[in-house]
Chains A and B, each alone.
Chain A
Amino acid sequence: MFTSLFAALNSMAPEDLIVAALFIPTAAALLIPLCHRVPNLREAVTLISAVALATVTWSLYPYIIDGVRPELKVWDVGQGLTLSFKVEPLGMLFALVASTLWIVNSIYSIGYMRGNNEPRQTSFYVCFAVALASTMALAFSANLFTMFLAYEVLTISTYPLVTHKATPEAMKAGRVYLMLLIGTSMVLFLPAIVITWATAGTLDFTAGGIIPITGENALSPFLLGGLLFLFIFGIGKAAVMPIHFWLPAAMVAPTPVSALLHAVAVVKAGVFSILKVVVYVFGIDALTTTSANTWIIYLSAFCVLMASIIAMNQDNLKARLAYSTVSQLSYIVLGAVLATATSVTGGALHILMHAFAKITLFFCAGAIYVAHHKTEVSQLDGVGRLMPVTMFAFFIASLSIIGIPPLGGTWSKWFLALGALDAHYQFAMAVFMISSLLNTAYLLPIVSRAFFKPLPGTAAGQKVAIAEAPTACLIAISLTTLGCLILFFYADFALDMIKLVDFTGAQTNTASSPAAGGELLEGAFNVR
């Protein structure tokens, strides 16, 4: 049956694959409530659609590598407002990450939600599916309007997930989440889109950017910087300080939701949007020639360090991981606004690498909660003896976040650091290195505490019975940990694709032409 399915997918035109990628999670969202009374069937729907979605996105991958850029125009609303989709390398990468991790996250969710006896599981899975549908729409969006639409749907569909527990704290966090994300998107992102429309006369993502910096309609460097300000802070999902409060607040949600927020969809949608805006709306050349990006380089560098320092002082495990995410997101923003081909490559790669590492860390935090109801770092003494697999996975993922070979995180940091040099911001490279040290300082003590300190109430060296999380959780954790490792050796599947990103608009849709980006980038590939 599966072979025939693959055969069918291979024969599908890439445009149909886009439709399928949007349709599958939507259909899941409609089917799940129908299976309300049969939980096993309901979860089967989620799992099957997750696998189907990943299959579809992976079937799109070879087309993108071959230089095909499938487009799908759905509806013209008028005045530049067109609902249309186009798959380009960055979006493809994001879609692959999100759809692949949805499978793992679904496996984990089933274990977690059942293990914790959470209420309202049907609406939980529905919102999850809607969030995935909007993530796919965002990844494949061909213009700012489509992106904005998907962005807002993603916020709204994840709001019920954040408030899932319906406790007063959850409601409060939900309010912060909704107001900060909808608020910034309406007050800053939307005007940015309107101004883009007014100056550029189009909203389509175009290689080399659409905002004129020379000629009649040109924006002065000052206004260009202002527009960049609107985009960077309007896309609140990227959690650039001071728009980061929602992320630590949202950790009241169940762990699978945190994983969705931090790794699969939400924050990644934010930084992905920023990457796309920088590359296809501003154009990296426009930013570097006008130096409109200088201030945001300093700001995001500050965020990288500041969030890491805050993370060190958090005792709540999920809060610590949340601030770690804030810091890591600023890596990607920094990579984007350094605006060189290498730094953007690093940023895009970091979406992938950070996703796998961070989802593992959150899965571990959730596993600890399910098995032992521990939430604070200070309670974790000796937990490594109870849950060796979980804590080992936590260790591996921490190393990947820090960027130590042989783990995936190495590559993204490598390219980011090279990009900083390429852009002649040596200090940014220093920031990346210092931040790695800080990462070590807030992640590894957790591991050492878990393994080397005795469990409270037991003497050192005394044997304790292993008490791990539900099997479904363990499977998910093992898969993503393995992912961190594999990504070190097989990172070229992503690099080959990012190489195809058209930075200048000079490149046509042929895969044979070399990627723009200069010698450093080429050199980097040779190093590998």
Chain B
Amino acid sequence: MNALSWGAAEPHLPILVVVIPLVGALLTTFLRNGFLAWLVATLVAFTLPFITIHLLLTVLETGQPITYKIGNWEAPFGIVYRVDQLSGYVLSVIAIIGAVIMPFARRSVVAEIDERARSWYYTMYLLCLAGLLGIVITGDAFNAFVFLEVSSLATYVLIALGKNRRALLAAYQYLIMGTIGATLYVVGVGLLYVVTGTLNFDDMASRLSAAIVDPGQRNAVVTALGFMVVGLSLKLALFPMHMWLPNAYAYAPSFATAFLAGTATKAAIYLLVRVVFSVFGVGMTLENLPIGEVVIVLSIAAMFLASISAVFETNAKRMLAYSSVAQIGYITLGIAIANQAGLTGSLAHIANHAVMKTALFLALGAVFYRVGSVLYDDISGIGRKMPLTMAAFAIAGLGLMGTPGTAGFISKWYLAVAAIDDGMYSVVFLIVASSLISVVYIGRITEVVWFREPSKAAAQAKEAPLSMLIPLWLLAFATVYLGFDTRATVGTASEAAKVLLEGVR
């Protein structure tokens, strides 16, 4: 891929990551035809992974971050985009997921969205994509807030357009919680701006170490840290601030759920890691606030309580949404343990979870397309009618359980090793015990779809169309592949973790 020549565009690739989807969004607003809008969105979505992977490989090769000054304005005045190991990695995850699900979108959107809203839907999708990529690529605290809002506003629409009327309420819930989260974040950014006089992450980082020892400014810095961590925890749905997530995922259109589950919370997690590790520095964060302990406790609570909620769900999408909350718990756990293995495991799980969860939601989307419901009673026995879809679902489900030979096992392994490295033997058992609960909820739905007699609706269903099966099986295959070849996930994640822990940035 590195051999790809970008010609004159080469130095401008970082900004193109955001500009291309924005222009695409603009284009789709002029298209009144859903199919054409889909074509544009697909074209855009498939361009992005090439750019982000190229950026990531360049960074990995040189070991140096790529910076891009917008309008050639230097850092304190202008906005700087910056791609390092971490952001390049998360950018690639988001871009790849954003592209892979596009073939699925075509039929799913036709089935679930009103005809007049279809092209708007792709507009919103591209805006959301631009926002998420923007959050990750920007090196500017306030610019990150702007992109946070761009992606959030687009997300509200993506959710609210669901046919189920509860989608409106879910979107409204998300709107309120999301706004609170973003506000808390921006309050923190404001405080830091007062103290350091800059919005650039790097400059903030270098000036904070002086500010923290100044008794007049120390409280402001610590307050800012608290605000930002809580605000971002809301956005990334850290337990118990996850209440918005299950409804949002459950009632959004299938395509939106699949996209958001893989990407939206990941961008917020990225921002949290950036703030805690690069801006404040892990040392300063842990010295001043017991964030590590608090997040470990909350993560473990998420792993257990959200998983238990998933066990008792009878709506398959809500079940997976609760499972997402639990899986986010794994990611934040590794971040809070904050050693090399822990960060590696967490960052690897960002990609692994994105792949597995998107596959699961795509499978449910395909079922919804054929059956019109994802309630257990309606989809019972669907495995006999849609064996290929549900086989892929089972593979991704095995990944979620952390079965060896799948991507989920790799993340779990690194998290367990991290806990042992820190002498937290009890945490090892909590990790494995909570993954046992995922065996229960995956086992339960497996029983429903494979062993129960087909319901009335399921009995008439046929196998999903090829355009849905291809992305689904790609991701299911990736679930297994990433369980063996971990160069892309663990390899990159450990590089990023190294950089974060050294505080090089």
Contact = CB atoms under 8 A, between A and B. Distances in A.
B436 A149 contact: no
B404 A145 contact: yes
Given A166-B451, A175-B443, A187-B432, A153 B417 contact: no
B420 A198 contact: yes
Contacts of B483: 77
Contact of A186 (B398, B405, B436, B450): B436
Interface of B: 398, 401-405, 410, 412-414, 416-417, 420-421, 425, 428-429, 432-433, 435-436, 439-440, 443, 447, 450-451, 483-486, 490
List the 5 shortest-distance A-B pairs measured between CB atoms, nearest first.
Answer: A149-B404, A194-B416, A198-B420, A187-B432, A149-B405
B486 A152 contact: no
Contacts of B486: 77-78
A182 B443 CA distance: 11
24 contacts: A75-B484, A77-B410, A78-B490, A145-B404, A149-B404, A149-B405, A153-B405, A156-B398, A166-B451, A174-B447, A179-B436, A182-B436, A182-B439, A183-B439, A186-B435, A187-B429, A187-B433, A191-B428, A191-B432, A194-B416, A194-B420, A194-B428, A197-B417, A198-B420
Interface string A170-211: 010011001100110011001100110110000000000000
Contacts of A166: 451
B439 A148 contact: no
Nearest to A197: B417
A178 B398 CA distance: 13
A79 interface: yes
A178 B412 CA distance: 20
Contact of B417 (A77, A174, A194): A194
B443 A171 contact: no
Interface string A58-78: 000000000000000001011
A191 B434 CA distance: 13
A83 interface: yes
Contacts of A191: 416, 428-429, 432
A198 B417 contact: yes
A163 interface: yes
Contacts of A306: none
Given A81-B413, A148-B404, A186 B484 contact: no
A59 B405 CA distance: 29
| Residue among B436, B450, B485 having the largest count of chain A Cβ atoms under 10 Å | B436
B440 A186 contact: no
B439 to A, nearest CB: 5
Contacts of A78: 486, 490
Nearest to A149: B404
A375 B265 CA distance: 55
A451 to B, nearest CB: 41
Contacts of A156: 398, 403
Nearest to B421: A198
A37 B103 CA distance: 33
Nearest to A234: B432
Contacts of A182: 401, 436, 439
Nearest to B447: A171
Nearest to B403: A152
Contacts of A149: 404-405
B403 A75 contact: no
Nearest to A167: B451
A180 B414 CA distance: 24
Nearest to B394: A156
Interface residues of A, number: 30
Please classify the interface of chain A as helix (H, G, I), strand (E, B), loop, or mixed, using the class held by over half of its residues. helix
Contacts of B401: 182, 186
Given A77-B483, A156-B398, A183-B439, 20 more contacts: A75-B484, A75-B485, A78-B486, A79-B413, A81-B413, A83-B484, A145-B404, A156-B403, A163-B451, A179-B440, A182-B401, A182-B439, A183-B436, A186-B402, A186-B435, A191-B428, A194-B413, A194-B417, A194-B420, A197-B417
A118 to B, nearest CB: 15
A133 to B, nearest CB: 13
- Residue in A78, A160, A174, A195 whose Cβ sees the most chain B Cβ within 10 Å: A78
B439 A79 contact: no
Given A77-B410, A194-B416, A197-B417, A187 B436 contact: yes
Nearest to B438: A186
Nearest to A178: B443
Nearest to B451: A166
A191 B412 CA distance: 11
A145 to B, nearest CB: 7
Interface in A127-174: 145, 148-149, 152-153, 156, 160, 163, 166, 171, 174
Max count, chain B CB within 10 A of own CB: residue among A75, A163, A194: A194
A313 B451 CA distance: 33
Nearest to A184: B436
Contacts of A153: 405
A327 to B, nearest CB: 28
Contacts of A194: 413, 416-417, 420, 428
B177 to A, nearest CB: 33
Contacts of A197: 417
A222 to B, nearest CB: 14
A197 B412 CA distance: 14
Nearest to A153: B405
A174 B451 CA distance: 11
Interface string A374-416: 0000000000000000000000000000000000000000000
Contacts of A79: 413-414, 417
Contacts of A148: 404
Contacts of B425: 195
A28 to B, nearest CB: 18
A153 B436 CA distance: 16
Contacts of B414: 79
A171 B451 contact: yes
A163 B401 CA distance: 20
Contacts of B404: 145, 148-149, 152
B352 to A, nearest CB: 13
Interface in A63-101: 75, 77-79, 81, 83
Contacts of A186: 401-402, 432, 435-436, 439
Nearest to B491: A78
B484 to A, nearest CB: 5
A174 B444 CA distance: 11
A79 B489 CA distance: 14
A20 to B, nearest CB: 21
A75 B404 CA distance: 14
A376 to B, nearest CB: 27
A178 B439 contact: yes
A337 B485 CA distance: 37
Q: Which of B405, B433, B435 has the most CB of A within 10 A?
A: B405
Contacts of B429: 187, 191
A190 B435 CA distance: 11
Contacts of A187: 429, 432-433, 436
A195 B443 contact: no
B63 to A, nearest CB: 20
Contacts of A152: 403-405
A179 B437 CA distance: 10
A166 B451 CA distance: 6
A178 B403 CA distance: 13
Nearest to A120: B384
A81 B439 CA distance: 23
Looking at A145, A148, A149, A197, the one whose CB has the most chain B CB atoms below 10 A away is A149
Contacts of B398: 156
Contacts of A163: 451
A179 B416 contact: no
A510 B58 CA distance: 51
Contacts of B402: 186
A326 B420 CA distance: 34
A191 B431 CA distance: 10
Interface in A100-116: none
Contacts of B450: 160
